[in-house]
Structure 1
């Protein structure tokens, strides 16, 4: 059999593919898959370049999505604003000190007294024991137990007369043996009681100060509730004025006399008549200051 003729150069036909498929038919599925991948690749590229909804967009149009290759946490720190400082609750304002009590003060009472029926602790560590009662005039509007507590606070100190180490004080109920009584009385009753003991407490014709009569410490209700104008102007709390007036009048009961201001700007001695004047001193309710007896020149 003669050999088949050779094909001419440039006109060779491709060899038939196995199973009867041509080469073009063999590559057609791969082209279809590649086209699908390319289409998917375009979509992925767009999704990477466009900020996601969860990343967000700042007001100036910048995306909060992290740059390519930068960790998301580091990108968030670089782009997001710093957190607000922790809120601190404001401190409640301190109430202004009471300088004088409002409302009318009874000028007269019934002239009779109710007594604190409680026995108090012994105040002071050593020395002579002196017992006292506490009484409040009926009709004054004051509570005898509240007055008894205030007296106890004033005489306990620190800074009170018992700091000498030579004196002890104790409140006793009515009916018990006692050395003196501390009264809270309306101005009218205080004026009569003081005058009976030889002391005139009137200023401008009205009973004004408190006093001590033999065996009696008499606190004027007007002063107990109102203090005095020059101390109110100096913003001295009423509580501190009460400490002063008790220690001053008990000081008289213990045998101490009036003293003067030792110098401008210095604390007033407790035996200075601070209810009437300061004379350049500053208010002071205590006979002992920093553990030492504090005095001024004798009147």
Structure 2
């Protein structure tokens, strides 16, 4: 019986039902130096097994490829999210202001609450605005406080403080301003031979410091023999026996040459108190010692400076500062 020629391995004959066709089984061959011969049925079954393994491997590779694609997509999304978080939530270096998250305007570059430029200092008050009462009731209210003793040695002189009704000024505020002027440093108590103390209105006093409207000041000064008129109107302040009278016009408005020189109103107030109290203590008028030098406190600075510089103090660095007698 002629031997049938075997088909190539991996290509079995398959019936329409899907099963390999039966073939005669040749005798087994030993392993040797030639090609391995097997039965056609064995070869068919091996082909099916190999094809199955290839199919499973193909599906595995397909699944791995799909999974790799998904993982790559997920990785890309994660990278975008992380980079977005790094951009929007990166740490702010120390000392740098973090921009606001609202829709408002951003701060200027380099600015922060700690390094923002400070607000400019307000300009000094040279005179007070508004009309000044030219006349009051002629009656006075007193600052009834007892103040500290000003100065370190010498006889204590007591003074009272009074403000005219209708002047729109308060007695306690005027009393504090007088105390500042007489306390120094630089005031008359720096001599070491004098002390001053404010006492209530009903107490005995060596003198009284009055704040009066221009009309009342003119009358009070005239009673003491002092004419304070300039151009026919009460203008300056004065000292009469036991009275230091401060003109309300000067207290609120200073004087034109001080305003032109931008001398603060607070400096004029220190000057006018120390000048008139200086008269009460026995000091007379003095002149400017030289152009550009400080004006002596006993110079009539309310009327002129004559080349001197405004100065509210009778003592400088603990030493009496005076000019030539007038």
Q: TM-score range by the shorter chain?
A: 0.7 to 0.9
Alignment deviations for residues 113-167 of structure 1 (CA, whole Å, 9 cap, x no partner)? 2222221111111111111111122222221111111111111111111111111
- 2:235 paired with 1:212: no
- Do 1:194 and 1:211's aligned partners in 2 also have CA atoms closer than 8 Å? yes
- Tell me what 1:87 maps to: 112
Matches within 5 A, 1:120-139: 120-139=147-166
Distance 2:46 2:236 in 1: 133
- Do 2:181 and 2:187's aligned partners in 1 also have CA atoms closer than 8 Å? yes
- Do 1:212 and 1:218's aligned partners in 2 also have CA atoms closer than 8 Å? yes
- 2:51 paired with 1:24: yes
- Tell me what 2:290 maps to: 263
Distance 1:161 1:256 in 2: 11
- Tell me what 2:201 maps to: 174
Q: Please give the root-mean-square deviation of Cα atoms over the aligned residues, in Å.
A: 3.3
- Tell me what 2:213 maps to: 186
Shift of the 150–203 alpha-carbon distance from structure 1 to 2, 3 Å rule, reads same
User: What residue ranges of structure 2 are gaps of 5+ in the alignment?
Assistant: 1-25, 100-109
- Do 1:133 and 1:178's aligned partners in 2 also have CA atoms closer than 8 Å? yes
Q: CA deviation at 1:96?
A: 2.7
Distance 2:28 2:313 in 1: 141
- Do 2:147 and 2:198's aligned partners in 1 also have CA atoms closer than 8 Å? yes
SS in 2 for 1:259: coil
- Do 1:16 and 1:22's aligned partners in 2 also have CA atoms closer than 8 Å? no
User: What residue ranges of structure 1 are gaps of 5+ in the alignment?
Assistant: 58-63, 66-72
Alignment deviations for residues 195-246 of structure 1 (CA, whole Å, 9 cap, x no partner)? 2222211111111110111211111111011111111122222122111100
- Do 1:111 and 1:137's aligned partners in 2 also have CA atoms closer than 8 Å? yes
- Tell me what 1:225 maps to: 252
SS in 1 for 2:81: coil
- 2:176 paired with 1:149: yes
- Tell me what 2:315 maps to: 288
Distance 1:14 1:146 in 2: 127
- Do 1:137 and 1:184's aligned partners in 2 also have CA atoms closer than 8 Å? yes
Distance 1:256 1:277 in 2: 19
Q: CA deviation at 1:170?
A: 0.8
Q: CA deviation at 1:52?
A: 4.4
- Tell me what 2:305 maps to: 278
Q: How many residues align?
A: 279
Alignment deviations for residues 271-298 of structure 1 (CA, whole Å, 9 cap, x no partner)? 1111111122221111112222212222
**Larger-gyration structure (1/2):** 2
Distance 1:210 1:96 in 2: 27
- Tell me what 2:134 maps to: 107
Shift of the 136–19 alpha-carbon distance from structure 1 to 2, 3 Å rule, reads same
SS in 1 for 2:284: coil
- Do 2:136 and 2:216's aligned partners in 1 also have CA atoms closer than 8 Å? yes
- Tell me what 2:13 maps to: none
- Do 1:17 and 1:23's aligned partners in 2 also have CA atoms closer than 8 Å? no
- Of the three residues 55, 62, 69, the one matched with 1:35 is 62
Q: CA deviation at 1:185?
A: 1.3
Distance 1:45 1:110 in 2: 97
